[in-house]
Amino acid sequence: MAAMGRADANFLWGVFQRVDKDRSGVISDVELQQALSNGTWTPFNPATVRSIISMFDRENKGGVNFNEFTGVWKYVSDWQNVFRTYDRDNSGMIDKHELKQALTGFGNSFVVILIMYHNHLGLSAWFLPPTSGRFRILGGR
């Protein structure tokens, strides 16, 4: 958080307080799911939200405190920016041509590529190791 400016810290503290509905000082997966928007007015898949929490929950408490939340915020924002970069027609979806451009743009320098998509079942995340030709679905139904 040291690199974060004071205005950014104040803004994120306000966001954190609005998301932390029970005022516990820790945002749970349920609270985070209610706060996240995937652009279609449908909730994120609960397994995806739990996965995001687990990446930042350093104390295994089942949620994120404010310092950990700043990492969650950056992670989600970074992926939104990547998505917007490759959603060239601003449809809110990555079609097969945009996906091909994205994967080509990532090249072999990425060890793992994360693709999030939304369908009628909820948000799913795929981890794709580019050299293996295999993938596993995390948060899919």
Q: What is the full DSSP assignment across 61-124?
A: SSEE-HHHHHHHHHHHHHHHHHHHHH-TT-SSS--HHHHHHHHHHHGGG-S-EEEEEEETTEEE
Q: What does the pLDDT look like over 64-110, one tens digit per residue?
A: 999 999 999 988 888 888 888 888 888 877 777 787 777 777 664 44
Tell me which residue of 59, 58, 72 sits closest to 20, measured CA to CA. 72
Q: What pLDDT does 5 receive? A: 59
Whether the pLDDT of residue 121 is over 50: the answer is no
Split at pLDDT 50, 70, 90, the class of 126 is very low
Whether the pLDDT of residue 119 is over 70: the answer is no
> What's the rounded Cα separation, in Å, for the pair 51 and 75?
12
Split at pLDDT 50, 70, 90, the class of 117 is very low
